Amino acid sequence: MTADTTTSEKPVYLTEGVPPKGLERVRLAVPDAAVPLLVKARAKRKLRKPEVLAQAREEMTWLLDAVRTPEEIEAVSRRYVEQDTWRSELRWHYKMIDFQPVEGADNLARARKLGRGVIISFLHHGQYEGAMASVAHAEAPIHIAISPEMIGPEAPAFLRQHVRAGLVGGNTGVNVGAGANILVEQLAAGRVLAIATDVPGKAPVRFLGKDRRGSSGAARLAIGVNAPIVVMTAHHENGTIGLKLGEAIEPRDFADHDALLGHLMAAQEDAVLAWPEGYHHPTMRWGTLEG
């Protein structure tokens, strides 16, 4: 693995992922043209397993039970199994997800020109593993906040591939294990930094009709350094997956980080409701007020 700088045993800046090995090479060797048939066969097998459907139902119920009927959730749960099968295979075929059409790339370009750094706020929704490379191809390379457990030879194969897919297009991964100051430095240097807003945390937030616990990290960072935020949403329309980048949000227009976080989540609701099965394991992303 190459790195521009290192801290102890972990790289701070990643310019490429750990080289694939063993079964990873086998999965990468599957021709892109064979992927649709492979996914269809795997999804069909999964849908026959009651335990798989039960897990999908748990995920979609947790996400949607305040805004959808049980009948609607049941239908979405079956689609969730299919979508999850697509996701698990497409990460090994980055050319199929790293060139998603990006609407609003000009919004990011304008925000970048402000020279204060930019935060892209996104959810683990849609084909997010190829989203950052798609942004790089549509506008310019960016930096991506990456958890330390996702890098290094000890990381699970699917996480290593997740990192590889995101760094296509000239993007750079930033190891958040190096400390919060490294994120401040990226923005102070005028860089674009992508941060997932749906990571476990303690901040109260309203999302899809329920009070949940989320992370205020991106909102706190934006207010602290006065960096504009561009919300990225994922879409699936007429059989085509794609991304939208909203207009830059000025963080100091909000009273505090909780108000800003609420706005960021409200900006995602329509996209998630339109494609709920595209949300990857929502029970991993959020907590409850009781938990």
Residue 6 predicted with pLDDT over 70: no
Q: How confident is the model at residue 24 (pLDDT cuts 50, 70, 90)?
A: confident
pLDDT tens string 270-291: 999 999 999 999 999 987 766 5
Between the alpha carbon of residue 13 and those of residues 5, 144, 194, 227, the distances in Å are: 6, 10, 14, 21
Mean pLDDT of 74-95: 96
Q: How confident is the model at residue 4 (pLDDT cuts 50, 70, 90)?
A: very low
Residue 239 region by backbone torsions, left for phi larger than 0, else alpha for psi between -120 and 50, else beta: left
Give residue limits of the domains in the chain: 6-20+98-288
Those residues whose C-beta lies under 8 Å from the C-beta of residue 154, and which sit 6 or more positions away, are none
Distance (Å, whole) CA 91 – CA 117:
29
SS in 3 state form for 45-93? HHCCCHHHHHHHHHHHHHHHCCCCCHHHHHHHHHHHHHHHHHHHHHCCC
The two tokens of residue 282 are 């929502």
